[in-house]
Structure 1
Amino acid sequence: MDHMSSSKNFDSIHDAYSFFMEHSTEAEQDLKSHLPYLSPLVQSGKTIRLLDFGCGDGLFSSRLLSRAGFDPNRLTLSLVEPDVGYLHQAATRLQTFSSTPVSAWTSLPSEQSHSFDLIVANHVLYYVNDLDQTLGQILNTLTVGGLFLISMGGSKNVLCHLINLAFASFDEPMPYYLAEDLEIVLGGRGLEFQRHEVDFELIFPDLEENRHKMCRFLLGEHFFRMNRGEVLKLFDPYALAGRIVIRTCDYHFIIQK
């Protein structure tokens, strides 16, 4: 199995993803939540080996590393991202944070056992084909004492709810994992972890083209299975004074090996 094969194709929705990032506070709230866990690593004086699993275009990690303040001479970076275009962008964007060449892979090499002190998986585990197997492969690369930070929406997340409604209109279950699935897998592996909620909001002008763009982001290639009316109605409950206003939350999981 490909260690980073994805059940969602991002190739055709880069613009929709950018729209979401521009109108959402999710990334900012994720950053604020992660930073306290990075401070001890920055202050340790040790060389930190970081894996960004599902790095996307690298924008989130560039913001995270900019604020964390790692010494480029004491940081090595490895990236996993199945979208080749995003992977190249991320490698270029993040190279400035390390004095050694960034390692960039479309899947996680099997020989990376106990290779990383810090692993970040930011809103990517929804889309892996086998959550338990993928999690096992990632954990195998984490060194003893290493830190694994995961961000993931659950059933309380409004956007996950909208995705679920969309697939219900196809009479199909949603093909993505949620935070509750991750908890089950972690529990099945006997892993101790911390979990906390992180609030964020998504606000954008209530235009038909924007509703379509957000649905493209949420559904990827499945967007074209919906009819126009279904797309527009999904956001009706969140329409307020000419805007779509969604206030919701994600979960953050912290695992110390």
Structure 2
Amino acid sequence: MDIVGLLYTVSTWVLPALLAITLHEAAHGWVAWKLGDDTAYMQGRVTFNPLRHIDPMGTVVVPGMLVLLKAPFLFGWAKPVPVDFMRLPSPRRDMAVVAIAGPLVNLAQAYIAMLLFHLIPYFGSYTAPWIAANLQNAILINLLLCVFNMLPLPPLDGGRVAVGWLPLFLARPLARLERYGMVILLILLLAVPLLGQAMGVAINPVGQLLFPMVAGLEDILLVLSGHSR
């Protein structure tokens, strides 16, 4: 791929990725603020400014290196929004509400991108493919973020939703997993696929779980937005 092609490809990923990450994190902070905890608001995290949410290593360096190395997976993260759950009226319940806000915003962005596809014919032959590529990437990124973050493992949003909604005898041991959650994710996302690749075997447990769920969710949104496969 020449430099022009590379820049074109990058330009179709940057805006969808920034919007997906920024609105996801801002949603957490906004819902926490409205429920009674202004920690994120006071730290300037209830904003559409992506610079307030980007983690230089997790949002730029690590994903960029994986893309350049043509890795079979993509992994990254943003700066987590600070939330003091003890300042919320009902900490367990409200923790779940704050957590689910981010994935729901990603789901909404994917749906809006699908609706905007109806406008593609109104653009010129030069701009239409670029806009279509941005929208397609927005759908993929947002659905992946939505489904991945809803996996029931703390510190992912799904883990916190589960801790907030499960009975205490189940929620407590799951909550204790949070200190090991990132290690478990890194093993499943990076170590296991790389080990399988070294052995000549395609092993990607997270991908094998996520991609069918993403495809099913995409099919539902396609129907709701007036498209067909």
Looking at both structures, which has the greater relative contact order when contacts are Cα pairs under 8 Å and sequence separation is at least 6?
1
Q: TM-score, normalised by structure 1?
A: 0.25
Task: Say which structure is richer in strand.
Answer: 1
Q: TM-score, normalised by structure 2?
A: 0.27
